[in-house]
Amino acid sequence: MDKIKLATVWLGGCSGCHMSFLDLDEWLIDLAAQVDVVYSPIADIKEYPEGVDVVLVEGAIANEEHLELIHKIRKRTKTIISFGDCAVTGNVTAMRNPTGNADVSLQLAYIEGADVNQQIPHSPGIVPPLIDKVVPVHYIVPVDIYLPGCPPSAPRIRAALEPLLKGELPVMEGREMIKFG
């Protein structure tokens, strides 16, 4: 039997969801026996591959690189899981939205909020161009499963992944599976 191709992605967020994923502790060993991790910030693979079965997408869409990557992910992945509150709602990452557009946010962060070296970085590759409004993943591409939480707990992550390993859909009902925050 072929192993499930699993990916994890970190977009606009704090990496707390990935930290919670690592809190799966010993179950990660069982998981590793059943999946091939084909893309992840943990594995530092540079190109998102074709034929991914399941991806956990942490974070909201906040810049041009995120937009490009999420379209590639949708095209190359069977099951997308919005992983955590930022991916599901925008959450903390979207707190810049009320300031106006991306230029206002950059002005606040790099000019008004800086004590020294007040300048907005413009060199390519330093700061990816921001989009004007941070949005959750499903605003850009269809999402198959929503896994809220800030971050989702390790038991909740496991409860979402275990059925997928058996070719089944997880039951995303009840406070333990759909609680935000």
Q: Quote the pLDDT of residue 1.
A: 62
Rg (CA), the chain: 17
Q: What is the DSSP string of 33-85?
A: HHEEEEE-TTTT-SSPPSSEEEEEEESBEEEHHHHHHHHHHHHHEEEEEEESH
Q: pLDDT tens for residues 20-75?
A: 999 999 999 999 999 999 999 988 888 999 999 999 999 999 999 999 999 999 99
Q: pLDDT tens for residues 100-156?
A: 899 998 898 899 999 998 998 877 777 789 999 999 999 999 999 999 999 999 999
List, in order of start, the domains of the chain with CATH numbers: 4-98+133-165 (3.40.50.700)
Span of 83-92, 122-131, 149-158, 160-169 with lowest mean pLDDT: 122-131
Q: Give this prediction's pTM.
A: 0.92
